[in-house]
Every structure is written in C-alpha cells, then in structure tokens.
C-alpha cells in the first residue's frame, strides 16, 4: 500500500519536487532513494495566517511497491454504430460524444462555428474592434464558451457524476496533470484549444463525425419523437438528438418556442465584471505587501445577501483579462479568462445578483417564456450604447459606482477593446444596481480595500446562466414532450460551468443508452 502523508510547507518548499520529496522521506523515516514514486494527491493554500502555507498531501510508493499505471482510455470504433446527432461542440457536447463512443454509438456533432484553431482569428478580430462574426466568437465555435476561458474546473456539482473521470479525460487529452490534485484546478486559455482539438481527434479516429459551419436551424418532429435536424437545406438524421447549444443560442430558444416545443422561463443572474490590480488582491489575501516568487496570483470568492437577494463573485480570474463575450455587434457582454500561468497584472471576477421571474414579469405578455431573454438583451444593448463604438464597454470606478458618481477618469484595464466612462448606477436595472452596491460594500467588509478607486466595473456580465430552461423528464432526461430529444448542458439549464456541462453531457449519453433506442 502506498503511504499517504500530509505536510504543511512554505510556498518555496512546495514548489520544488526535490525539496518536498526529501521532507517527505524524513517524515516517513526512510531514505529518498527508497522512494520509487511520489505524487501529489492534494494541494491547497492556507492564507488565513500572516504567512501563507501550502498544504500538500502526498502519496509515496516505496521500494518495490507497484506504481499506478499511466492514464489510458480505450475508445472503440463506432463507424457503423447507431448515429446520434449532437448540436454544439462545447463541453456538454464533447463529453456526451466521448461517452456515446464508449457505449458504442456514433456521434454526429454539428457546430455552427469554426474549428478551434480557425476561431482564434475571429476572437482576435473582436478584440481589434472589428465586426463580430455571429457564429464564431467567445461563445460560439468548437469547444463552446469554455474554449477561450480560464478553464477553471472547480465545480459544486461533483455529485452529478464522475468528476475525476472528467479531469482524467482532460489530462489524457493534454491538460496538465496538476489539475488532478489542485484544490482549484484550471487549464488556461493558452492550453485549452489544444485539449479540445485532441478530443476531436480521438472522436474522429473512432468514426464520429464533426461538421463545422453547420448551424442547426430546425428540428424535424415525427409524432412524439424527433427524426433529426436541419442545417439550412441539409437534413441530418439520428436515432436521438442532443441539444447542447449553450446559453447564447437565442435562435434555438426562439425556434423551439415557435414550434411549440416547451421551454420555460427561469431566474438567472446578471451584473458586472470587477477588475482590481492583482497586486492589491494579493496584498489583501496574503497579508503581505508582495506575493513574492512562489505564491500564485491570489483569488477570492465572495457572497453577500442584500434584502434576501444573493450577490456573489463569479468566475474569478486571478492574473487574467476581461474579454468581450457578446455574440453580435449590437450587444456588450463581458466575461473573464486567464492564461495557464495567470500572470497578468489584473484580477477580475463577475459580480452578479439574482434576476427573479418577477423582475421581468412585465415582458411576459409579449414574450411569454422567453421574457428573460429579452430582459437580458435589453441591458446588453443598453451597455453597447453606453460603451460606444464597436466592442468598447461602459465602465466606472468601483468607489464611484457605490457613491453614485460619474468617473471623470478610469484606471488602466485589461479589456483590450477599450472602456468608456459611464454612470452605470443610473442605467442598470435599479434592483441590480442597488444589490450590487450593497453587495460590494459587503465584500469590502470581508476584504478591506475591495471598494477602491483603483478598481473598475465593466458591463454587463449577463451570461453567467441562462434565462430559459428546456424541461426534461427527471428519470429519462429526455424532453418532456419528445422521448428522443435530449436538452443538455448550460443552455438547457442543467449546468453552470465547464465541468458541470461535461458531467451533464455524460449523463445524457448514459440516459440514451438506457433508453435502448
């Protein structure tokens, strides 16, 4: 049996394998030469005290003890197997496809955008304030919304499936093995595209089909079943259809609604992205003037209740960038990402609050179950008007926002397309502006210095979750009306992040297998 030991180390000791190996040997009362293999099982930072420490749990294989085999997944050839149509190629779609292959089905993935490499050109153009390609941007294209992201893999929904298998699959396809043990694993935007294209190569080598520039425009219904989908004039048949189109595919919700395929309004979240100098967050979190050479860029996770409405930080990107995540030129939507080394001089996070059904009740008469979509759109368009040309976004210093003051100047920001000063407290929905103001004060009580002139908010962060759910049967996971239509992932309302979308995709594949098509 390998021996497990837990050490509390300085950041420098924890960063160097030789150092922690010799400390582990001493702790286990053996010679370093007796250690056949050492691996990290868990790593976390304890920054509660004045001097931050690293908690490291190690597994030691001693002398002739058999060491664990390298990760390997065997995927069978499914070229001749039953075809399953998957709309989208985000995490829900890709992990549904991998699981379907394991279960001997042939996935046909239809993606409205381009492959992940061609997509980079469109992403670069968006940042240069050029026209946004509505089918190829930060939300659409191979890899989905998660492709050009921080790639944070932390999830609260571990119970929904095999979380470790998701991480191992990512490592098998090229992600850094450190994600298997880090307390808050992340991949980084510089590494994600390669992992995604490796997953595609695995799938294609097994006989799965990928079609890019294949925007699904219709679903073909036959009684209480679906027969396939339409991409323009082309019909693609499948024994089942998985709809994994993400939260930005407004056209899909409208198509479903118009066809009488049930969708339902749901609460969602909206707010802004806040950005601080990373050095300020490091100082607050590590209680020292500088984080030094060995500690990673510090992060935070904050929550506050304001009159019964939750205000919380979301998708925090230490050492990251704020990015333009809109899907067309009339909107302004922001999000955040970071590279694997998280070394930019900025720290950003979404700060969002609940949007309740009652907040957009006034739009129900006209838009029915899609009312939340139009509420969201209204503020995305307003943000665009207050931002200005192209992707320039409205912004305000945090200290000015909470004091309801116009910012006569703005600090430097990581948001490449540019920012313009705007009195966001005036045009954000009152309920959101009020909640954010009180929420930010609450954050400042937990992290002194959070509300400062040095920090800005940029708007709007409106796509942290979807305002529409596509209802499905709790047992079969199929749509309530169509027994072989499977809504999946974030767009359907069953996930909120890369890992939860991937887990949902796997669960859908298992459900299809159980349905014995």
Ligand X SMILES: Cc1cc2nc3c(=O)[nH]c(=O)nc-3n(C[C@H](O)[C@H](O)[C@H](O)COP(=O)(O)OP(=O)(O)OC[C@H]3O[C@@H](n4cnc5c(N)ncnc54)[C@H](O)[C@@H]3O)c2cc1C
Contacts with ligand X by CB under 6 A lie at 87-93, 110-113, 138-141, 144-146, 149-152, 215-216, 244-246, 249, 252, 315, 323, 325, 335, 337, 489-491, 495-499, 501
As measured in angstroms, the least distance from the Cβ of 482 to ligand X is 17
CB atoms near residue 63 (< 10 Å): 9
As measured in angstroms, the least distance from the Cβ of 334 to ligand X is 9
> Which residue number, 320 or 411, has a Cβ lying nearer to ligand X?
320
As measured in angstroms, the least distance from the Cβ of 299 to ligand X is 11
Q: Residue 173 carries which DSSP code?
A: T
Hey, what are 475's tokens? 């047992």
Sign of CA dihedral 285, 287, 288, 292: negative
Hey, what are 221's tokens? 């219904």
Hey, what are 267's tokens? 């609460």
Hey, what are 262's tokens? 């049930």
Rounded CA-CA distance 318/75 in Å is: 36
> Which residue number, 119 or 397, has a Cβ lying nearer to ligand X?
119
Rounded CA-CA distance 164/162 in Å is: 6
Look at the block and give the residue holding tokens 């060995």.
294
Beta-strand pair 225-231/3-9: unpaired
- For the chain, how many residues are written? 517
Look at the block and give the residue holding tokens 């030691």.
60
As measured in angstroms, the least distance from the Cβ of 427 to ligand X is 23
Question: Is 338 strand, coil or helix?
Answer: strand
Q: Is the peptide bond before 276 cis (omega within 30 degrees of 0)?
A: no
> Which residue number, 167 or 337, has a Cβ lying nearer to ligand X?
337
> Which residue number, 175 or 325, has a Cβ lying nearer to ligand X?
325
Helix (H) or strand (E) holding 384: helix 371-387
As measured in angstroms, the least distance from the Cβ of 474 to ligand X is 19
As measured in angstroms, the least distance from the Cβ of 4 to ligand X is 29
> Which residue number, 35 or 498, has a Cβ lying nearer to ligand X?
498
As measured in angstroms, the least distance from the Cβ of 136 to ligand X is 8
CA dihedral defined by 458, 464, 467, 473, rounded to 10 degrees? Answer: 180
Hey, what are 414's tokens? 């990581």
As measured in angstroms, the least distance from the Cβ of 47 to ligand X is 21
As measured in angstroms, the least distance from the Cβ of 300 to ligand X is 15
CA 284 and chain centroid, separation: 26
CB atoms near residue 300 (< 10 Å): 17
As measured in angstroms, the least distance from the Cβ of 128 to ligand X is 17
CA 468 and chain centroid, separation: 18
> Which residue number, 350 or 387, has a Cβ lying nearer to ligand X?
350
> Which residue number, 87 or 373, has a Cβ lying nearer to ligand X?
87
Q: Residue 481 carries which DSSP code?
A: S
> Which residue number, 339 or 433, has a Cβ lying nearer to ligand X?
339
CB atoms near residue 203 (< 10 Å): 23
> Which residue number, 138 or 379, has a Cβ lying nearer to ligand X?
138
3-state secondary structure 394-439: EEEEHHHHHCCCCCCCCCCCCCCCCEEECCHHHHCCHHHHHHHHHH
> Which residue number, 92 or 98, has a Cβ lying nearer to ligand X?
92
As measured in angstroms, the least distance from the Cβ of 218 to ligand X is 10
> Which residue number, 236 or 440, has a Cβ lying nearer to ligand X?
236
Rounded CA-CA distance 119/121 in Å is: 5
């Amino acid at each position: 049996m390998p021996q497990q030991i837990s050490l509390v180390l300085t950041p420098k000791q924890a960063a160097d394998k030789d150092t922690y190996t010799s400390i582990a040997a001493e702790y286990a009362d053996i010679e370093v030469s007796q250690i056949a293999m050492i691996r990290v099982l868990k790593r976390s930072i304890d920054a509660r005290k004045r001097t931050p420490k690293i908690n490291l749990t190690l597994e030691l294989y001693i002398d002739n003890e058999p060491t664990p085999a390298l990760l390997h997944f065997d995927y069978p050839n499914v070229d001749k197997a039953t075809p399953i149509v998957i709309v989208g190629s985000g995490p829900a779609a890709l992990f549904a496809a991998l699981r379907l292959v394991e279960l001997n089905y042939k996935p046909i993935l239809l993606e409205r955008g381009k492959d992940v490499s061609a997509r980079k050109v469109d992403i670069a153009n968006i940042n240069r304030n050029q026209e946004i390609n509505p089918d190829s941007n930060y939300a659409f294209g191979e890899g989905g919304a998660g492709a050009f992201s921080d790639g944070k893999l932390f999830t609260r929904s571990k119970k929904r499936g095999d979380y470790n298998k998701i991480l191992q699959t990512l490592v098998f396809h090229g992600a850094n093995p450190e994600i298997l043990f880090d307390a808050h694993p992340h991949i980084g935007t510089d590494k994600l595209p390669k992992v995604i294209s490796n997953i595609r190569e695995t799938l294609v080598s097994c006989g799965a089909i990928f079609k890019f520039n294949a925007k699904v425009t219709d679903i073909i219904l036959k009684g209480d079943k679906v027969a396939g989908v339409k991409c323009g004039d082309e019909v693609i048949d499948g024994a089942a259809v998985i709809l994994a189109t993400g939260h930005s595919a407004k056209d899909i919700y409208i198509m479903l609604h118009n066809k009488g395929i049930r969708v339902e309004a749901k609460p969602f979240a909206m707010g802004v992205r806040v950005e601080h100098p990373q050095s300020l967050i490091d100082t607050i979190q590590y209680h020292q003037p500088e984080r030094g050479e060995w500690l990673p860029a510090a992060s935070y996770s904050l929550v506050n209740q304001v009159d019964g409405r939750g205000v919380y930080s979301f998708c925090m990107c230490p050492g990251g960038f704020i990015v333009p995540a809109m899907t067309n030129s009339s909107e302004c939507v922001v999000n955040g990402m970071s590279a694997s080394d998280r070394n930019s001089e900025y720290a950003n996070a979404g700060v969002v609050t609940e949007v309740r059904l009652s907040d957009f009740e006034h739009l129900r008469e006209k838009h029915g179950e899609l009312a939340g979509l139009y509420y969201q759109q209204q503020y995305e368009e307003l943000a665009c008007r207050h931002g200005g040309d192209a992707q320039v976004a409205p912004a305000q210093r945090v200290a000015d926002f909470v004091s309801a003051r116009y910012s006569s100047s703005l600090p430097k920001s990581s948001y490449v397309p540019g920012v313009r000063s705007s009195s966001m407290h005036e045009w954000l929905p009152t309920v959101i502006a009020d909640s954010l103001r009180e929420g930010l004060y609450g954050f400042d009580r937990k992290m002194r210095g959070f509300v400062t002139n040095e920090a800005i908010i940029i708007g709007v962060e409106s796509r942290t979750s979807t305002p529409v759910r596509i209802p499905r049967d709790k047992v079969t996971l199929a749509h309530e009306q169509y027994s072989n239509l499977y809504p999946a992932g974030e767009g359907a309302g069953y996930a909120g992040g890369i890992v939860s979308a991937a887990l949902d995709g796997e669960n859908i594949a298992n459900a299809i297998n159980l349905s014995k098509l």
